[in-house]
Chains A and B, each alone.
Chain A
Amino acid sequence: MKNITFDAIVVGTGISGGWAAKELCEKGLKTLVLERGRNVEHIQDYDDMLHPWELPYRGKITRNDRKNSPIQSGVYNYNERSKKYFVNDLDNPYIQDKPFEWARGYQVGGRSLIWGRQSYRRSELDFEANARDGFGNDWPIRYKDIEPWYDYIEPFVGIAGSYEGLPHLPDSKFQPPMPMNCVEKEVSRRIEGKFKDGRMIIHGRTANHTQAIGGRGPCQFKGSCGAGHACSFGGYFSSNSATLPAAAKTGNMILRPFSMVQEVLYDKDTRRATGVRVVDTETLEQKEFFAKIIFLNASTLNTTAILLNSKSDVFPNGMGNESEQLGHNLMDMPYGMGARGIFEGCEDKYTFGSRPTGIFIPRFRNLTEATQQKDYLRGFTYQGGAGRGRKAGSGFGEDFKNSLKDPADHWSMSITAWAEHLPYYENKMYLHKEKKDKYGMPVICIDCEFKENEANMVEDMMNCAAEILEAGGLKNVETYNRNKIPGSCIHETGTARMGNNPKTSVLNKWNQIHAVKNVFVTDGSAMCSSGTTPGPSITYMALTARAVDYAVKELNRRNL
């Protein structure tokens, strides 16, 4: 493959890399798609159809797992079956200047195999937020710029949700929502109109399909996606189920697994990138590949590491880092604060099937003058749901055995908050000066924390959750805070932010590096703010499709 020049190179095969591959290939570009991990074939490499009792540990994490992956094994959906989609932490070290849980999946499909699938558009409020309160830099785009691209990607993604017409939570192009259960329905009815600030319960919006899209889906409600097991029915969107097969179908994609990009190559005469330097992760051999345009989609921290490691006379501090913002403004999202209670009623009702989503409560703080908070900026949303499990029986013998089938006396319901993390220059990642991993790549150091604004929201998130449940008639309501550390939301963003000013940002409004126009960055690193609402992935997807469209037009205009 050496010396072959491709039209395009895509680095990474996760949720944004898959879209870059699909769009570039469908526009006729010969595209080399590089993935540092092994291949994972849709369906044939999945274990979701094994019965739980067929697994030696029936899902449990072993001592060896905890030893080899001390960080990954703490991720919520890491288990015996899903662990093959998470990295070995010993082989892939990083340094935590402050505690930061970095979930990683190095394989074809990346973390799109194990993602949370909740999907919410950013609103005008999100794009204006930085300009309004001065934290971070102004987004170079507004909702109208991205709206057609949400419209474009969503029917292919396949998002189940309900049309609500809320300005602060724009509707997607939805498939029918997944139904609420009897308690969720009743609680949402009871809180209707009870809160002046408009708190309401709507359907969770999820990239699980209630209608088939080509050969994908619909969802069979077997619960394997939430547990990180992938889905042989293609019931949810992943690169493996959707974008990569579409890219492959064009005949324009060459997918090369075991190819870790360490550097973007640069030609100072043309002031363009020429290609990438790759280390084969099986043989440790170095290779170079060349292309007219390069899309970096290696995930926020790894994309930024590649740029920081792409040093030259022109870019002594890393490619595109004249602003010295590269690696800075790292955000995640604080989450895990909420409330739970029991519901009296619906005792003759139960649930059937494992629904891969729940209910959602849109933002209601700092939307208007009337909802302005004294103690903090921006806001939060809730996800949750109601359910009914089994009773904890007592005793022993035949009666006890039979009692193990008894349903719990009551339904219970909980809601948990996800909040905005402001961009702070001091929250950052950088490359260690000496330490390298076994592939020769400098080790990433992470120095990130939640600060005052995030801390000031915590109590309000717990109290509002309790108020909502109490208004919904739940009893024995109690609040909780899971004290999650940064990173554990797996929404890390912001380390190569967009902006209009090359002096204060890395990328322009088309996700191009200001100084290197043929390099596009369209993963989470491009974000200027975390947004108040979670489910950031569809924003990466929309930005990717938009950037590819622009890149190909620029190529045709001979501007790249």
Chain B
Amino acid sequence: MIKRYNRRQFITNGCVRLGVVLVASGGIFNSSCSNNENGTPAERDKIILFLNELGNIIIPPGEVPGAKDADVGLYISKIVADCYSDEDQIKYYEDIESINTTCFNKFGKKFLDCTQKQKHELVADMEIKHNGYMNIKSKIVSAYLTSEIGMTKFFKYHMVPGYYDGYATSPSWI
């Protein structure tokens, strides 16, 4: 794992290679260090796919489309690159890496190569205890709920409510 003292160095190197464990496991980002601090387009696409697949286990499609349909991965990647501080970016990549490592240790393969059943098993494990999963999960949930699908298909959307009712008999979002 990346240690605290070299975090700054890690980002200034402009490298998204996620530590030795990742390289050893093959990781989802198996290319070497790039000069773009947000990784190569291929690496970014893999992270987006990873987030969307993990998102679909957490918020599956059903009557209402799920996390992948809302493309939570694309939005999360965008805000991580453009909005997050250096520290939060490192934490984010560590968290993804940590999920992937847990997966590799459990099934001997990358998350994206797992079967649906294995993905469910992994997420069930991580729900009980995991460093990093909860952080990524909360980003997925928030990305879903703020997406067009989340706001208009999952929730009821009232752009112009027109009045205030402090005694409403049902939640405004249902």
Residues of chain A having any CB pair with chain B under 8 Å: 49, 51-53, 56-58, 60-64, 66, 178-182, 184-185, 220-222, 233, 348-355, 388, 390, 394-398, 400-401, 404-405, 407
Contact = CB atoms under 8 A, between A and B. Distances in A.
A405 B170 CA distance: 11
B6 to A, nearest CB: 21
A385 B161 CA distance: 19
A221 B161 contact: yes
Given A60-B79, A62-B83, A404-B145, A353 B172 contact: yes
Q: Which 8 A-B pairs have the closest CB atoms?
A: A181-B166, A353-B161, A353-B164, A352-B165, A352-B168, A53-B148, A396-B58, A350-B168
Contacts of B162: 220-221, 353
Contacts of A52: 146, 151
Contact of B151 (A53, A180, A185): A53
Given A398-B60, A400-B59, A349 B83 contact: no
24 contacts: A51-B159, A52-B146, A53-B147, A53-B148, A63-B83, A64-B82, A178-B164, A179-B165, A182-B167, A220-B161, A220-B162, A349-B167, A351-B164, A351-B168, A353-B161, A353-B163, A353-B164, A396-B57, A396-B58, A396-B137, A397-B60, A397-B120, A401-B154, A405-B155
Interface in B114-139: 120, 123-124, 127, 137
A398 B62 contact: yes
Contact of A397 (B57, B146, B169): B57
B66 interface: yes
Contacts of A222: 159-161
Given A355-B166, A396-B127, 17 more contacts: A51-B148, A56-B78, A222-B161, A233-B160, A350-B171, A351-B166, A352-B158, A353-B163, A353-B165, A355-B164, A388-B171, A396-B59, A397-B57, A397-B60, A404-B141, A405-B155, A405-B171
B166 A180 contact: yes
Contacts of B75: 58
B9 interface: no
Interface in B1-40: none
Contact of B166 (A66, A182, A407): A182
A351 to B, nearest CB: 5
A352 B84 contact: no
A51 B138 CA distance: 22
A5 to B, nearest CB: 47
Given A52-B146, A405-B173, A400 B166 contact: no
Interface string B52-86: 00000111101010100000000100110011110
B42 interface: no
A179 B164 contact: yes
Contacts of B141: 404
Contact of A401 (B59, B158, B160): B59
Given A53-B146, A58-B146, A401-B66, A395 B164 contact: no
B145 to A, nearest CB: 7
B106 to A, nearest CB: 16
A404 B154 contact: yes
Contacts of B154: 401, 404-405
A64 to B, nearest CB: 8
Contacts of A51: 148, 151, 159
Nearest to A219: B164
A181 B172 CA distance: 14
Contacts of B170: 350
B164 A221 contact: yes
Contacts of A179: 164-166
A220 B163 CA distance: 6
Nearest to A408: B171
A105 to B, nearest CB: 22
B111 to A, nearest CB: 14
B173 A390 contact: yes
Contacts of A355: 164, 166
B76 to A, nearest CB: 11
B78 A63 contact: no
A505 to B, nearest CB: 44
B38 to A, nearest CB: 12
Contacts of B166: 179-182, 184-185, 349, 351, 355
A60 B83 contact: yes
A404 B174 CA distance: 11
Contacts of B127: 394-396
A73 to B, nearest CB: 11
Contact of B165 (A61, A351, A404): A351
Contacts of A352: 158, 161, 163-165, 168, 172
